[in-house]
């Protein structure tokens, strides 16, 4: 359906970027896909966590109830702690790809 149009866009990008093997464009498309995946994770993650957390009603007398036991971390706290680490890992990966692209462009043919 959209495959032909996407391939045409990739061919146009390949013609704009001076790379004889076409690897640079594939890396850039990979970065775009990774950014979209991260956007989906950041959007859907809290919703899934809330649904999992509220799926089972835990009795208030139970030691596993996060409302009565302050030592138990709830899902939203876990998400708030781990999301910045995921964002930093994604930024490091993107910087690594950009460095690889620059080293490939600078390499003599």
Q: What is the dihedral of CA 61, 65, 66, 68, to 10 degrees?
A: 0
Express each pLDDT in 67-90 by its tens digit. 787 787 777 777 777 888 888 888
The answer to whether 3 and 63 have CB atoms below 8 angstroms apart is no
Q: What integer pLDDT is reported at residue 3 of this predicted model?
A: 62
Catalogue the long-range contacts made by 99-108 (C-beta closer than 8 Å, 24 or more residues apart): 100/27, 101/24, 101/27, 101/28, 104/19, 104/23, 104/24, 105/18, 105/19, 105/24
Q: What integer pLDDT is reported at residue 58 of this predicted model?
A: 80
Mean pLDDT of 18-41: 74
The answer to whether 27 and 102 have CB atoms below 8 angstroms apart is no
User: Model confidence at 105, in pLDDT bands (50, 70, 90)?
Assistant: low
Q: Break the chain into its structural domains and give their ranges.
A: 24-106
pTM higher than the cut 0.75: no
């Amino acid at each position: 359906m959209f495959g032909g149009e996407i391939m045409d866009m990739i061919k146009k990008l390949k013609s704009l970027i001076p790379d004889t093997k076409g690897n640079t464009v594939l890396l850039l498309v990979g970065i775009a896909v990774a950014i979209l995946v991260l956007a989906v994770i950041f959007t859907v993650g809290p919703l899934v966590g809330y649904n999992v957390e509220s799926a089972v009603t835990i009795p208030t007398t139970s030691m596993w109830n996060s409302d009565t036991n302050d030592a138990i971390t709830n899902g939203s706290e876990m998400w708030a702690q781990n999301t910045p680490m995921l964002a930093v890992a994604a930024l490091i990966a993107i910087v690594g790809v950009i460095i690889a692209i620059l080293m490939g462009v600078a390499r003599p043919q």
